[in-house]
Amino acid sequence: MYRFAPSPTGDMHIGNLRAAIFNYICSLQDKSGFILRIEDTDKERNIEGKDAEILEILTKFGIKWDTLYYQSKNLKFHRELAAKLLMDKKAFLCFCSDEDIAKKKELAKEKNIAYRYDGTCEKLSDEEVLNCEKPSVIRMKKPNKTMSFIDEIKGEISFEPENIDSFVIMRTDKTPTYNFACAVDDMLEGVDFVIRGEDHISNTPKQDLIREYLGYTGKFRYAHLPIILNEHGTKMSKRENSSSVKWLLETGYMPEAIANYLIMLGNKTPYEIFSMNEAVEWFDIKKVSKSPAKFDIDKLSQINREHIKRASDERLAQLFEMPIKFASLIRFYTQESSLIGEIKDKISHIYSPKHIQGEYENEMKILKEAILKLDYKDSFDEFKKALMSETSLKGKKFFMPLRLLITGKEHGPELSELYDFIKNDIKEII
Ligand code: GLU
């Protein structure tokens, strides 16, 4: 069972979407099922409406989940299982105040050593715990052995107990931390393969430890995906526009193209242009590169153009929100632009009323009148000849006003090629 577990705390990052796509593809390959879990336990960071946005984005990409969970619905189990860990003495109550911890962290920093919890409250007797009125968190006891796991991409990864530390699993307000909620939910929901970003590598031994202490023996497989770098070679931050899936969609990239690009990123694929369903046939999570991948928006644009060309008429009509009769014209316009919005803009200029003004005002008037009188001409050659003889215009004084009259723009595709797509509407568009 696979899962995608986004937090509704901001715009979806392409790194998250890549994790969603990889999980989904793998779940289709071994037909084991795919869970969508909205990790909404951090109330302060949740943003209203972001959960609905996640569902909407995944739907746009054709990603279908078998079950949808909201993590906050499992709060009862998080509390019960934390209590069990306390009773089994695998976890302990910690009364250290935030100020105490902050001071100790400061001290560690001065000594240039990494801060680790010093075990103060682990040593308290049952009586001392019972008599303490201060607010408390629950901490796991750090493991007494090296924790290792095999990563499908990176190989074996080990963590020493000090680097796992006695970490907090329940906050003072009795809400679970990310590691605890995530470990418990993955266990309860029957997940056994976790694909996520490599920024979670240090969480993996903690989550394994939680389940081990709870007595769970189910095996987990992991694949941690390398980070995505920007064109300067540094980590793509949430603030960069192109890291936001919403921004990419709004800018005019097709979901099919974004998915294609993210599957290709840091991966060897048998073809350059493919659909997610095609990728199910050959995708191999083990073959994803260990090293970070560089995001290249120009490459994405090129892939977008190819997907516009190969999309069905119905799909283009839906994506461009235009009548289906424009499908071929949309494909034709990929020679001018690779973005949905830009292509749409150019086509709508053709079909908008033209301003007969400027340097060629006179010629435009003459041409318009002549076109209105002209019989239907099947080829641009016939159209041009008839129009030239009717108006006696030629050269730039013929072509430029004609282009302005047809496209509303000074530059654009060859009129001789464009004509085929618009000849039936010629009298309406001028
Ligand atoms: N909510 C976490 C995130 O969005 C989930 C990480 C995970 O897949 O475990 O980063």
DSSP string, 100-134: HHHHHHHHHHHTT-------GGGG--HHHHHH--S
* Stated length of the chain: 430
Mean pLDDT within 393-400: 96
**What is the whole-number distance in angstroms between the Cα of residue 5 and the centre of ligand 1?**
5
> Taking the CB of residue 272, how many other CB atoms lie within 10 A of it?
12
Is the pLDDT at 181 greater than 90? The verdict is: yes
423 to 20, 47, 72, 364, 428: CA distances (angstroms): 45, 50, 59, 18, 10
Mean pLDDT within 401-429: 96
Mean pLDDT within 156-169: 97
Dihedral class, residue 83 (left if φ above 0, else alpha if ψ from -120 to 50, else beta): alpha
Residue closest via CA to ligand 1's atom 6 equals: 5
User: pLDDT-based confidence at 43, cuts 50/70/90?
Assistant: confident
Is the pLDDT at 238 greater than 90? The verdict is: no
For 162-200, b/e burial (b = at least 16 CB within 10 A) is eebbbbbbbbeeebbbbbbbbbbbbbebebebbbbbbeb
**What is the whole-number distance in angstroms between the Cα of residue 199 and the centre of ligand 1?**
9
pLDDT of residue 298: 96
Per-residue pLDDT tens over the stretch 127-158? 999 999 999 999 999 999 999 999 999 999 99
Residue closest via CA to ligand 1's atom 10 equals: 6
Instruction: Show the CA angle centred on residue 124, arms to residues 122 and 130, nearest 5°.
Output: 120
Mean pLDDT within 193-212: 98
Q: Which atom of ligand 1 is nearest to the CA of 196?
A: 8
CA dihedral 400, 402, 407, 408 (to 10 degrees): 70
The CATH number of 72-225 is: 3.40.50.620
Q: Taking the mean position of all CA atoms in its chain, how far away is CA 349?
A: 32
**What is the whole-number distance in angstroms between the Cα of residue 163 and the centre of ligand 1?**
20
Per-residue pLDDT tens over the stretch 1-36? 999 999 999 999 999 999 999 999 999 999 999 999
Residue 122 near residue 92 (C-beta atoms within 8 A): yes
**What is the whole-number distance in angstroms between the Cα of residue 178 and the centre of ligand 1?**
8
Domains 2-65+228-305 and 72-225 share a fold: yes
- The per-residue pLDDT of the chain, averaged, comes to 96
pLDDT of residue 253: 98
Residue 197 near residue 225 (C-beta atoms within 8 A): yes
Residues with CB under 6 A from ligand 1: 5-7, 39, 182, 196, 200
pLDDT of residue 239: 82
Q: Which atom of ligand 1 is nearest to the CA of 199?
A: 10
Q: Which atom of ligand 1 is nearest to the CA of 203?
A: 9
> Percent of the chain having pLDDT more than 70?
100
pLDDT of residue 242: 87
Mean pLDDT within 316-321: 97
pLDDT of residue 236: 87
Is the pLDDT at 237 greater than 90? The verdict is: no
pLDDT of residue 197: 96
Residue closest via CA to ligand 1's atom 4 equals: 6
CA atoms within 13 A on the CB side of 427: 10
Residue closest via CA to ligand 1's atom 2 equals: 6
Residue 176 near residue 85 (C-beta atoms within 8 A): no
Q: Which atom of ligand 1 is nearest to the CA of 3?
A: 8
Q: Specify the range with the lowest mean pLDDT, choosing from 17-31, 76-90, 154-168, 235-249.
A: 235-249
To test the ligand 1 pocket, which listed residue (7, 70, 227) has its Cβ within 8 A of the most ligand atoms?
7
Mean pLDDT within 195-213: 98
Q: Could you give the CA distance from residue 140 to residue 166 in angstroms, rounded to a whole number? A: 5
Annotated binding-site residue? 238: yes
Mean pLDDT within 205-215: 98
Q: Could you give the CA distance from residue 11 to residue 95 in angstroms, rounded to a whole number? A: 36
* Domain 2-65+228-305 top-level CATH class: alpha beta
Q: What are the extents of the domains in the chain?
A: 2-65+228-305, 72-225, 313-423
CA-wise closest residue to 343 among 360, 313, 322: 322
To test the ligand 1 pocket, which listed residue (4, 21, 200) has its Cβ within 8 A of the most ligand atoms?
200
**What is the whole-number distance in angstroms between the Cα of residue 38 and the centre of ligand 1?**
9
**At 231, phi and psi to the nearest 5?**
-70, -15
CA dihedral 5, 11, 16, 21 (to 10 degrees): 90
Q: Which atom of ligand 1 is nearest to the CA of 16?
A: 4
Look-up of token digits 């705390």: 9
Mean pLDDT within 294-302: 96
Would you give the end-to-end CA distance of the chain in angstroms?
58
